[in-house]
Amino acid sequence: MAKPHPRSPSVDDGHADDGTPEYERPSKTQLKKEMHELQELGEALVGLPEDRVVDLPISESLRDAVAEYKRTKSFEGKRRQMQYIGKLMRKNDVEPIREAVAAMKLGRAKDALALHEAERWRVELLASDDALTRWMGEHPGSDLQQLRSLIRAARKDAAAAPEQRSGRAYRELFQFIKEQSGDHE
């Protein structure tokens, strides 16, 4: 049986004195992950409206690449252009892009929340008169006479055809609620 060869203290095995590996650069897997994240951010960037892209502090070449992506029709062309956008984003500060994308998503979420809130109020107002009192407490500037008229017409439409809840009065009530809620904020 052969004796194991003792390690020479001068041999560098790629580990620090405490036994952890010493790497001067990120692993290939980590680089790929970062590139995929940049490419996903690039996909969100091309989804931004043109006026927001113009306002971003990005290089002219990246702005041109985004415009070219929007003009490209073929799937393969869009795929290659997206990779190019990801490559250009490596040279740019991506934090303003992340902030713009997050602001857009937040705006969409707020809009959706406002629509859900208006729908909730419409259902409550049609269901009970107590909801009208609560509505006036929260929205004192609302035209009470117009609101009562809309509620009465929507209830009449709903009584005539319960399965069809999208009558004109039903939609007008929703618009009124949405406008008043927007003015309230």
Containing domain of residue 149, as a range? Answer: 110-184
Both 89 and 118 in one domain: the answer is: no
Q: Determine the pLDDT at residue 23.
A: 65
User: Last residue of a domain, which of 44, 62, 93?
Assistant: 93
Residues 126 and 156 in one domain: yes
Does 147 share its domain with 81?
no
Are 148 and 175 contained in the same domain? yes
- 52: domain CATH number is 1.10.60.30
80 part of a folded domain: yes
Residue at 103 is within a domain: no
Cα separation, 130 vs 121, whole angstroms:
12
In-domain check, residue 1: no
Assess whether 120 and 73 both reside in one domain.
no
- Is residue 99 one of the residues assigned to a domain? no
For residues 26 and 32, give the distance between their C-alpha atoms in angstroms, rounded to a whole number: 10
32 and 87: one domain? Answer: yes
Tell me if 139 is assigned to some domain.
Answer: yes
Tokens read off for 25: 């650069």
Separation of alpha carbons 155 and 151, rounded Å: 6
Report residue 138 as tokens: 């929260």
Its sign, for the CA torsion 140, 145, 147, 148, is positive
The answer to whether position 132 is within a domain reads yes
Per-residue pLDDT of the chain (185 residues; tens, 9 = 90+): 566 655 555 555 555 556 566 667 888 898 888 888 888 888 888 888 888 788 788 888 988 999 999 999 999 999 999 889 888 888 888 888 888 888 888 877 888 888 888 888 888 888 888 888 888 888 888 888 988 888 888 888 877 766 666 678 888 888 888 888 876 55
Token code pair at residue 80: 């290659």
- Which stretches of the chain are assigned E, i.e. beta strand? none
Q: Considering the domain boundaries, does residue 55 fall inside one?
A: yes
List phi, psi (to 5°) of 142: -70, 150
Q: Kindly state whether residue 12 falls inside one of the protein's structural domains.
A: no
Is there a single domain that holds both residue 73 and residue 33? yes
Same domain for 53 and 80, yes or no, is yes
If one counts the domains in the chain, the total is: 2
The verdict on 116 and 178 lying in the same domain is yes
Residues 88 and 34 in one domain: yes
Residue 82 and residue 119 in one domain: no
Q: Alpha-carbon distance 80 to 122, whole Å?
A: 48
